[in-house]
Amino acid sequence: MNKVLMSGNNIIGEAAIRAGCRFYAGYPITPQNELTEYMAEHMRKAEGGVFIQSESEVAAINMIAGASATGARVMTSSSSPGISLKQEGISSMAACELPGVIVNIMRGGPGLGNIRPSQGDYFQATRGGGHGDYRTMVFAPATCQELADLTMDAFDAADKYRTPVMILADGMMGQMMEPIIFKSPAPRVYPEKFMLRGAGSGKSKFIRGLLLDPIDAEEHNWKLARKYEVITEHETLCEEHNLEEADMVIVAYGTAARIAKGAIKRLRDHGMKIGLFRPITLWPFPELKLRALSAKVKNFLVFEMSTGQMLEDVRLALQGYAHIDFHGRPGGAVPTPAEFANVVARLYNKRD
């Protein structure tokens, strides 16, 4: 297996094409333009591949919904403000049970914010984002290797559960380069009965989310809810780092988790026993694993590049069994590991 050095945005594009993605639509927005450009160049070279530069993010998400309905593996990408625009379509895809991968290379917000790396879209990503009772699976890679692996996994998960899946990364991960190895994707499993390709001589089908009869709509909602329960039970992923004998556990994901790791490394040299719990799936949140940890650790520090969003999930998971501190850097500010280590050390020395 050959290692290659690629930037995060390009890795997502290449992993998607290798995973069999054959339709991409997107609209330029920093800091994910390289992904759109990569797809423009390489999707058209892939057999049967289609790239459309759409007139808007709204159009892009609906284009992939259409292509997904035909049975193709599909992807779109954007950054925070553009992901807001896609929510109508994501809700619609969830309702119509259309698989698809949506990449959010987060930037500072709210509003136009800035183009620096940020984690302010956690609520939007994990709570569904659009209207109605639905969820999207959310993968939060922290390394370039994970960008490659999780992008491929996202397509499988989207097919398996017939649901939109989000890759939630940030501007730093999009630009960063690291050596990676592309794994061989598993063969695709997606039954033809879910594809809309013209009825031929058979019975015509329709795909819809509109159910005017409330009892039908209620049943549809419960059907989706049961699916989300299965996902919650089977699909949580997390990394546990340095937890043996930890007196304090930092909970962080994505880039924030890597900064935390850097800080932990520094503090370990000073004899501080600090571990890291890194959710890899943000929805479903690895709630039970985190709660189990509270049996032996009583001090948790949530670190996010936001004003505290995942914090709520950590509170829900720990249910008051442990003390929780929070450190946030919203708006595109990214601390160095040294800066964050100072914050952690102060709290570590104050702990119960």
Chain positions contacting other proteins, by CB under 8 A: 3, 5, 22-23, 25, 30-31, 50, 52, 54-56, 58-60, 62-72, 74, 88-89, 92, 96, 115, 144, 171-172, 175-179, 196-201, 204-210, 255, 258-259, 261-265, 334-339
Nearer residue to other proteins within complex by CB, 92 or 309: 92
Nearest to residue 101, comparing CAs of 59, 155, 153?
155
Q: Is 42 exposed, middle or buried (0-12, 13-18, 19+ CB in 10 A)?
A: middle
We find the least distance from the C-beta atom of residue 39 to other proteins, in angstroms, to be 14
We find the least distance from the C-beta atom of residue 266 to other proteins, in angstroms, to be 8
Contacts of 210 (CB under 8 A, 6+ apart): none
We find the least distance from the C-beta atom of residue 9 to other proteins, in angstroms, to be 10
Give buried/exposed letters for 336-350 (b at 16+ CB in 10 A, else e): ebeebbebbbebbee
CA distance 12 to 18: 10
Q: Is 281 exposed, middle or buried (0-12, 13-18, 19+ CB in 10 A)?
A: buried
Nearer residue to other proteins within complex by CB, 55 or 219: 55
We find the least distance from the C-beta atom of residue 117 to other proteins, in angstroms, to be 9
We find the least distance from the C-beta atom of residue 202 to other proteins, in angstroms, to be 8
Give the angle subtended at the CA of 95 by the CAs of 90 and 100, to the nearest 5°.
Answer: 45
Q: Are strands 100-106 and 164-170 parallel, antiparallel or unpaired?
A: parallel
CA distance 283 to 192: 28
We find the least distance from the C-beta atom of residue 108 to other proteins, in angstroms, to be 11
Nearer residue to other proteins within complex by CB, 54 or 232: 54
Q: Answer for the pair 25, 56: CB distance below 8 angstroms, yes or no.
A: no
CA distance 52 to 37: 11
Task: Please state at what angle helix 8-18 crosses helix 144-161, rounded to 10 degrees.
Answer: 40
Nearer residue to other proteins within complex by CB, 138 or 276: 276
We find the least distance from the C-beta atom of residue 186 to other proteins, in angstroms, to be 22
Nearer residue to other proteins within complex by CB, 92 or 281: 92
Contacts of 206 (CB under 8 A, 6+ apart): none
Nearer residue to other proteins within complex by CB, 105 or 297: 105
Nearer residue to other proteins within complex by CB, 88 or 240: 88
Nearer residue to other proteins within complex by CB, 64 or 317: 64
Quick one: tokens of 38?
């990569």
Nearer residue to other proteins within complex by CB, 181 or 230: 181
What is the separation of C-alpha 91 from the centre of its chain, rounded to a whole number of angstroms? Answer: 16
We find the least distance from the C-beta atom of residue 68 to other proteins, in angstroms, to be 8
Q: What is the 8-class DSSP label of residue 1?
A: -
We find the least distance from the C-beta atom of residue 245 to other proteins, in angstroms, to be 20
